[in-house]
C-alpha cells in the first residue's frame, strides 16, 4: 500500500449503500483501510485499499474494525462465524457496529465477545442515508464504554456530523429504534398530508414554504414532501425494503416492552405491504403511491 503510512490501518466490513461512501470519506481523511465484503464486485468501486480474504483476516491486520452489514444475523456471521473476526480478536480490538439491529441481541453479542477474547464493542447505528455519508453529515447513535467510543471517534469524524453516546452497549440500537419509528411514521404522514393537500385544492407544492419555521415544520416536510409532490424518486436515496426491515425491528422492540403503539405499527404494516407488492427497491418516499 503506497502513501498515507502515517495513519493507522483500520478495518471495514460491509461495502453496501452506506458502507461504500463511509469508506470513501475515511480515505479522503487519509486513513488506510483493510476491507472485506461478501459480494466482491463492491471492490471495483474502491482503490488504494487492502482487500482481506475474510473477516478474520481484517482483524489480523486492524485493531479497530467498523461493521456496516445488513442485520443481526449478518453481524453474527462476520463476527462469530467461520473465519470471523472473533477468531483473531484480542483485548486490544474494538468493534464499532454501524449496522441496524436490536438492543438485546447487541448486548448479548458484546458480552460474548468480551468474555471470549476481551475485545470491546460499540453499537453505533447511523441515520441520514448515503447522501449524508458522502457529505460527512451522518447522525450516529452510540452505545458502549466512553473510552472505547473515544478510540473510534477520530475515525467516525470523517463521515459523522453528530455522534452522541446514549448509554451502555445497546443504547445506540435503542435510539435507532426510536429514530426509525419517527422516520417510518413520518414518511407515511407526509404521504397522507400530501394526499390531503392535493385533494383540498390548495397550492400543494407551497406547503413546505408555508409551514417553514412553525410547529408543523420538520426535516421530512422539507425533504420528503417535495419528493412526493414532484414524484421525484430517482435516483433512489433509500429503499422501501430497508424501511420495512427497520420498522420490523421497531415492532419487535414494541412487543418486547409490552407496549401498544398503533400509529407506529400501522406504518410498519404499510411498508410491509408495499414491499410485498414488489416495491422493495423503490425510493422510501414512494410509499405515497399507496395513496393514489
* Residue-wise pLDDT tens digits, 9-19: 999 999 999 99
Mean pLDDT (whole number) for 39-63? 97
Burial 211-242 (b: 16+ CB within 10 A, else e): beeeeeebebbeebbbbbbeeebeebbbbbbb
pLDDT value at position 237? Answer: 86
pLDDT value at position 129? Answer: 87
Mean pLDDT (whole number) for 83-98? 98
Please tell me the least confidently modeled range out of 74-83, 138-147, 169-178, 231-240.
231-240
Residue 260's CB is within 10 A of a number of other CB atoms, namely 8
* Among 176, 227, 239, 245, the one annotated catalytic: 176
SS3 38: coil
239 among known catalytic residues? no
pLDDT value at position 92? Answer: 97
Please give the model's pTM, rounded to 2 decimal places.
Answer: 0.91
C-alpha cell at 28: 479522503
Return mean pLDDT, the chain.
Answer: 95
From 32, 34, 12, 8, select the one nearest 21 (Cα to Cα).
Answer: 12
pLDDT value at position 7? Answer: 57
Cα angle at 33 between 159 and 49, to 5 degrees?
115
Provide the H-helix boundaries in the chain.
19-28, 55-61, 72-80, 103-117, 129-135, 146-156, 171-200, 207-211, 219-230, 240-256, 262-274
Q: How far is CA 225 from CA 180, 182, 220, in A?
A: 17, 15, 7
On whether the CB atoms of residues 197 and 207 are closer than 8 A, the answer is yes
On whether the CB atoms of residues 268 and 246 are closer than 8 A, the answer is no
pLDDT value at position 1? Answer: 32
Residue 230 pLDDT grade (very low, low, confident, very high; cuts 50, 70, 90): very high
Residue 3 pLDDT grade (very low, low, confident, very high; cuts 50, 70, 90): very low
Mean pLDDT (whole number) for 13-27? 97
Residue 2 clears pLDDT 80, i.e. is over it: no
Share of the chain above pLDDT 90, in %: 93
Amino acid at each position: 500500500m503506497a502513501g498515507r503510512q502515517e495513519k493507522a490501518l483500520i478495518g471495514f466490513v460491509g461495502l453496501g449503500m452506506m458502507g461504500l461512501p463511509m469508506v470513501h470519506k475515511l480515505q479522503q481523511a487519509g486513513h488506510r483501510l483493510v476491507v472485506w465484503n461478501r459480494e466482491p464486485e463492491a471492490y471495483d468501486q474502491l482503490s488504494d485499499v487492502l482487500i482481506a480474504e475474510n473477516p478474520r483476516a481484517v482483524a489480523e491486520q486492524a485493531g479497530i474494525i467498523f461493521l456496516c452489514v445488513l442485520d443481526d444475523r449478518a453481524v453474527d456471521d462476520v463476527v462469530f462465524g467461520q473465519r470471523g473476526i472473533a477468531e483473531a480478536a484480542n483485548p486490544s480490538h474494538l468493534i464499532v457496529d454501524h449496522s441496524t439491529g436490536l438492543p438485546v441481541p447487541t448486548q448479548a453479542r458484546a458480552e460474548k465477545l468480551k468474555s471470549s477474547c476481551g475485545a470491546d464493542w460499540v453499537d453505533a447505528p447511523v441515520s441520514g442515508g448515503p447522501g449524508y455519508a458522502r457529505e460527512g453529515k451522518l447522525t450516529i447513535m452510540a452505545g458502549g464504554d466512553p473510552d472505547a467510543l473515544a478510540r473510534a471517534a477520530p475515525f467516525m469524524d470523517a463521515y459523522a456530523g453528530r455522534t452522541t453516546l446514549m448509554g451502555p452497549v445497546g443504547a445506540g440500537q435503542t435510539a435507532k429504534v426510536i429514530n426509525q419509528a419517527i422516520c417510518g411514521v413520518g414518511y407515511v404522514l407526509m404521504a397522507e398530508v400530501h394526499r390531503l393537500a392535493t385533494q383540498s385544492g390548495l397550492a400543494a407544492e407551497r406547503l413546505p414554504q408555508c409551514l417553514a419555521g412553525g410547529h408543523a415544520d420538520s426535516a421530512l416536510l422539507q425533504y420528503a414532501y417535495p419528493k412526493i409532490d414532484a414524484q421525484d424518486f430517482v435516483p433512489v436515496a433509500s429503499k422501501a425494503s430497508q424501511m420495512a426491515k427497520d420498522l420490523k425491528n421497531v415492532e419487535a422492540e414494541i412487543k418486547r416492552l409490552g407496549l401498544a403503539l398503533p400509529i407506529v405499527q400501522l406504518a410498519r404494516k404499510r411498508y410491509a405491504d408495499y414491499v410485498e407488492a414488489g416495491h422493495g427497491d423503490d425510493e422510501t418516499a414512494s410509499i405515497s403511491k399507496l395513496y393514489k
